[in-house]
Structure 1
Amino acid sequence: MLPVDDAHPCGAAVGDAPFPLCPAHVALVAEWSSTEWGSQDLLPEACRACGSRLGVRYPSGWICAACEWRVGDVLDDGLPPPRVDVVYYLRFRDRIKIGTTANPRQRLGRIRHDELLAFERGDRLIEHRRHEQFADLRRGRSEWFTAADELEAHVRGLSAGVVDPWSLYARWLGEAAALRG
């Protein structure tokens, strides 16, 4: 336990804490931690850059947990939304579609699929490279491929550590908006 004054201990330790701290010192450590590293919470309003509702609160203000846009910073409404080209991977039954778009919500809304597997940042050049890479799995001249081990391993690599592909896309949008000022 930490001394309060004259080297006397401050009081009883809290439960099974990894360090013997009294409730008062636990509160001080928690306050210091949230000041130093922030505390995750719902944003007061959706992020203007990416639309996420999850944020990190610091004493100086909020930032979006998805794209790190500072809440309250004004987006230049005179500029068009940032463009982020992505290669998408969709599953429908036993096949995977590899396509590209700059507007994935609109594009994926038009394609029948069971699951969005992953996004990869890139344009038609990256899409073309993936089509060549998995050419032996291609179904005719379409953008659909047989869901074989090789392709599924590639998709797993893209989605490693990504719980939701949409959050990754939101982060890319926020980064693009921040880079243009």
Structure 2
Amino acid sequence: MDGCVIPLSTGLACGEPVASGAPIDLCHDHLLAAHDWVAGDAGVTDLLPSPCLACGSRLGVRYPSGWMCAICEWRVGAVVDQADVIAVRVDVVYYLRFRDQIKIGTSATPRHRLAAIRHDELLAFERGNRSLEQRRHAQFAAHRLGRSEWFEAHDELLAHIDTLRRGVDDPWQLYALWRSEQLALRG
């Protein structure tokens, strides 16, 4: 068919040129109308206006009626029971870059911890506690800077970080997923 197939009130098809790249034979205006209908029914995935109060995720779904976290389904603006939020503990080993050095540390509250540490970039998270952190310190000890948690950037450490980052666009989304899983396990 050469034109838009949407029937008009006259019973004839719209006939306007099909939008370039359209997956079905619809003109630009009818594609927009279909998009608006789907967006209202299924929502549109986008960044939340601020991190989810329940799980910390930045990924949300926008509906005409408001926002919902795409990870834990908390409705933006709803009251969060702080006891539930505080009780969700996910220990992580974090990898930070500051200039040409990398810090390997651990925290159960990485947002607060990382806010207190001068760094240029959060490179990765690895789920684990102090025991895993100590193993990583031992693993990369040859490049440790004194007795600190800072290390020279070197091939072995960078390869480990690359492995942790594989398939992860944003470490905070991974952390939010882990928190959401913990919430789900608690029922």
Identical counterparts, % of pairs: 56
**1:93-139 CA distance string (max 9 Å, x none):** 33211111112233234433333221111112221232233233233
Structure number with the bigger relative contact order (C-alpha 8 A, sep ≥ 6) is 1
Q: Which moved more, 1:28-37 or 1:145-154?
A: 28-37
- Whether the 8 Å contact between 1:95 and 1:144 is mirrored in structure 2 is yes
In structure 2, the partner of 1:47 is 52
Secondary structure of 1:20 counterpart: coil
Inter-CA distance 11–120: structure 2 relative to 1 (3 Å threshold):
same
TM-score (norm 2): 0.72
Inter-CA distance 105–25: structure 2 relative to 1 (3 Å threshold):
closer
Secondary structure of 1:4 counterpart: coil
In structure 1, the partner of 2:148 is 142
Equivalent pairs counted in the alignment come to 180
Inter-CA distance 113–4: structure 2 relative to 1 (3 Å threshold):
closer
Match of residue 129, structure 1, among 135, 147, 168? 135
Paired letter, 2:73: W
User: Stretches of 4+ moved more than 6 A in 1?
Assistant: none
Paired letter, 2:98: F
Inter-CA distance 14–63: structure 2 relative to 1 (3 Å threshold):
same
Paired letter, 1:16: S
- Per-residue deviation, 1:87: 0.2
In structure 2, the partner of 1:71 is 75
Inter-CA distance 17–112: structure 2 relative to 1 (3 Å threshold):
closer
In structure 2, the partner of 1:2 is 5
- Whether the 8 Å contact between 1:90 and 1:118 is mirrored in structure 2 is yes
Q: Which moved more, 1:86-95 or 1:157-166?
A: 157-166
Inter-CA distance 127–9: structure 2 relative to 1 (3 Å threshold):
same
Report the RMSD for the aligned CA atoms in angstroms.
3.4
Paired letter, 1:166: W
Paired letter, 1:20: D
Within 5 Å, which residues of 2 pair with 1:18-57? 18=22, 19-23=24-28, 25-27=30-32, 29-31=34-36, 33-34=38-39, 37-41=42-46, 47-51=52-56, 54-57=59-62
Within 5 Å, which residues of 2 pair with 1:157-176? 157-176=163-182
**Structure 2: distance between partners of 1:173 and 1:113:** 24
**1:65-111 CA distance string (max 9 Å, x none):** 3x332316654344461111010111233321111111223323443
In structure 2, the partner of 1:100 is 106
Inter-CA distance 150–70: structure 2 relative to 1 (3 Å threshold):
same
5+ residue gaps, structure 1: none
Inter-CA distance 14–128: structure 2 relative to 1 (3 Å threshold):
same
In structure 2, the partner of 1:11 is 15
Inter-CA distance 62–124: structure 2 relative to 1 (3 Å threshold):
same
**Structure 2: distance between partners of 1:11 and 1:84:** 56
